[in-house]
Structure 1
Amino acid sequence: MSEKEVILTPEGLAKLEQELEDLKTVKRKEVAARIKEAISFGDISENSEYEEAKNEQAFIEGRILTLEKMLRNARIITNEDVDTGVVSVGSKVRLKDLEFGDIVDYTIVGSAESDPMNNKISNESPVGQALLGKAKGAVVDVQVPAGVIQYEILDISL
Structure 2
Amino acid sequence: MASYVTKEGLDKMKAELEQLEKIERPKITQQIAEARDKGDLSENAEYDAAKEAQGMLEMRISKLKDIVTTSKVIDETQLDTSKVSILTTVKLLNNDTKKEQVFTLVPDNESDLKSGKISVNTPIAKGLLGKVVGETAEIVLPNGNKLSFEVLEITL
TM category, shorter: over 0.9
Supply the AA of the counterpart residue of 1:22: Q
C-alpha contact (below 8 Å) 1:7/1:112 kept by paired residues: no
Any runs of at least 4 consecutive aligned residues in structure 1 with deviations exceeding 2 A, and if so which? none
Aligned pair 1:6/2:8, yes or no? Answer: no
1:35 corresponds to which residue? Answer: 32
Normalised by the size of structure 2, how large is the TM-score?
0.94
Offset from partner CA, 1:26-55 (integer Å, 9 cap, x none): 110111111111111111111111111111
Aligned pair 1:59/2:56, yes or no? Answer: yes
1:150 corresponds to which residue? Answer: 148
1:125 corresponds to which residue? Answer: 122
2:107 corresponds to which residue? Answer: 110
> How big is the shift at 1:132?
1.1
Supply the AA of the counterpart residue of 1:12: G
Normalised by the size of structure 1, how large is the TM-score?
0.93
Which secondary structure does the structure 2 equivalent of 1:107 belong to?
strand
- Report the count of equivalent residues: 155
Structure 2's unaligned 5+ residue stretches are none
C-alpha contact (below 8 Å) 1:6/1:112 kept by paired residues: no
Alignment of 1:86-101 (within 5 A): 86-101=83-98
Offset from partner CA, 1:103-136 (integer Å, 9 cap, x none): 1111111112122232111111101111111111
Once residues 118 and 45 of structure 1 are traced to their aligned partners in structure 2, the CA distance between those partners, rounded to angstroms, is 47
Which of 22, 25, 31 matches 2:22? 25
Supply the AA of the counterpart residue of 1:31: I
Once residues 12 and 105 of structure 1 are traced to their aligned partners in structure 2, the CA distance between those partners, rounded to angstroms, is 20
Aligned pair 1:68/2:65, yes or no? Answer: yes
2:45 corresponds to which residue? Answer: 48
Once residues 75 and 93 of structure 2 are traced to their aligned partners in structure 1, the CA distance between those partners, rounded to angstroms, is 26
Supply the AA of the counterpart residue of 1:118: S
Percent of pairs with identical residues: 34
